[in-house]
């Protein structure tokens, strides 16, 4: 399963990574930022994937501007 990480600049394209790469990164960090281009279904599947493996997952929408389209998803994945 692939998911898009949050873009680093307003004009950049979001980077796509495999969910297994995120799982490997959990050794180093627990907070991840995902792009608004991810569908609700993709984000829900990602949360279920980690919950099945025994992780607690908390996700929220973070607005960084006044426009309705200026947001990212902040996700905490904790064991």
Q: Please write the tens of the pLDDT for every residue from 29-78.
A: 999 999 999 999 999 999 999 999 999 999 999 998 888 888 999 999 99
For residue 15, the model assigns a pLDDT of 95
User: Is the pTM above the cut of 0.85?
Assistant: yes
Q: Are the CB atoms for 19 and 3 separated by under 8 Å? A: yes
68 contacts: CB under 8 Å, gap ≥ 6: none
Strands of 1-79 (E only): list them: 2-4, 16-18, 31-34, 56-63, 71-78
Q: How far, rounded to the nearest angstrom, does the alpha carbon of residue 68 sit from its chain's CA centroid?
A: 19
């Amino acid at each position: 399963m692939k998911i898009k990480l949050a873009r680093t600049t307003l004009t950049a394209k979001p980077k796509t990574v495999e969910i297994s790469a995120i799982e490997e990164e959990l050794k180093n960090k627990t907070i991840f930022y995902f792009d608004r281009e991810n569908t609700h279904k993709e984000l829900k599947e990602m949360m279920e994937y980690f919950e099945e493996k025994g992780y607690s997952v908390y996700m929220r929408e973070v607005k960084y501007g006044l426009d309705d389209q200026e947001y990212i998803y902040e996700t905490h994945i904790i064991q």
